[in-house]
Amino acid sequence: MQFRFRDDEVVDHGTVTVDACCDQTNATAVRIEPGDDARELLPFLDRLALVEVNFPTFGDGRGYSAARILREAGYTGELRAVGDVGIDQLSHMLRCGFDAFAPDKPLDESDARRAFATWENVYQSAADGRKTIQELRHE
Binding site for another protein (CB under 8 A): 34, 37, 58-62, 64-65, 68, 72, 86-89, 91-93, 95-96, 108, 111, 114, 118-126, 132-138
Q: How many CB atoms lie within 10 A of CB 63?
A: 28
- Residue 42's alpha-carbon distances to 11, 22, 55, in angstroms, are 20, 10, 21
Residue with smaller CB distance to another protein, 46 or 139:
139
Nearer to another protein (CB atom), residue 11 or residue 127:
127
Beta strands 78-83; 100-103: pairing state: parallel
- 72 half-sphere exposure, CB direction, 13 A CA radius: 11
Q: What's the closest the beta carbon of residue 14 comes to another protein, in angstroms?
A: 26
Closer by beta carbon to another protein, 14 or else 61: 61
CB 78 → another protein: shortest distance, Å?
Answer: 19
CB of 111 to another protein, least distance (A): 7
C-alpha 13/C-alpha 9 separation (Å) is 12
